[in-house]
A = this chain, B = another copy of it.
């Protein structure tokens, strides 16, 4: 049975987004990265730029899960803050995406949101610091901050965001069906493995 939905979570600089795009192209699946931001913008009324800034790299001071628990009803009453509102819109949108057809979704807690979707494959891509540092300098250029610092800051935010909205530890193997070190295995090989797994049996 082929996998209709593939979620790809990734460390910054690991090539996870590139792998996701390759997989989507090879399988002919819809690709939700930038396209997801556009959809969230359309549904929420916020600008794409604003959503990028308040997205999965944003830090939040309050605990979404705590607020949700406090609201008692299991609904969204009591949820406060723009980040939380954006998360709810994003959550509901991602939940509906598989109905529209096979797709590859990058990040945004999609592994958690679609964890109970049967025909899914949840992937985590990471790499050693040196591989990621070289990659972000090559792709995004030099900045004032050292690449190692840029990596650390970005992933720290993703970790906090993920913990806040899922209650899980970002990067734990058991959150995903497969985790791959793209630096060691190679970006192309990672895409090969995922395509093979998605179409096998």
Q: Which listed residue, B121, B171, B173, touches A126 by the CB 8 Å rule?
A: B173
Beyond the given A124-B173, A178-B180, please list 15 additional residue pairs across the A-B interface where CB-CB is below 8 A.
A124-B179, A126-B174, A169-B172, A171-B172, A172-B172, A173-B173, A173-B176, A173-B179, A176-B179, A176-B181, A177-B184, A178-B181, A185-B197, A189-B200, A193-B193
Complex Cα distance, B178 from A178, in Å, reads 7
Find chain B residues with CB under 8 A from A193 CB: 193, 197
Contact sample, A vs B, 29 pairs, CB 8 Å cutoff: A121-B184, A124-B173, A124-B179, A126-B173, A126-B174, A169-B172, A171-B172, A171-B173, A171-B174, A172-B172, A172-B173, A173-B173, A173-B176, A173-B179, A174-B181, A177-B180, A177-B181, A177-B184, A177-B185, A178-B178, A178-B179, A178-B180, A178-B185, A179-B179, A185-B197, A186-B201, A189-B197, A193-B193, A193-B197
Of residues 107 through 129 on chain A, the ones whose CB sits less than 8 Å from some CB of chain B are 121, 124, 126
Count contacts on A: residues with CB < 8 A to the other chain.
22
Q: For the complex, would chain A's binding face be called helix, strand, loop or mixed by DSSP majority?
A: mixed
Of residues 150 through 174 on chain A, the ones whose CB sits less than 8 Å from some CB of chain B are 169, 171-174
Per-residue CB contact flags for chain A residues 43-77 toward chain B (1 = under 8 Å, else 0) read 00000000000000000000000000000000000
Closest to A183 in B: B177
Closest to A200 in B: B189
Complex Cα distance, B185 from A176, in Å, reads 11
Find chain B residues with CB under 8 A from A185 CB: 177-178, 197
Closest to A181 in B: B177
CB of A85, distance to nearest CB on chain B (Å)? 31
Complex Cα distance, B172 from A176, in Å, reads 11
Find chain B residues with CB under 8 A from A174 CB: 126, 171, 181
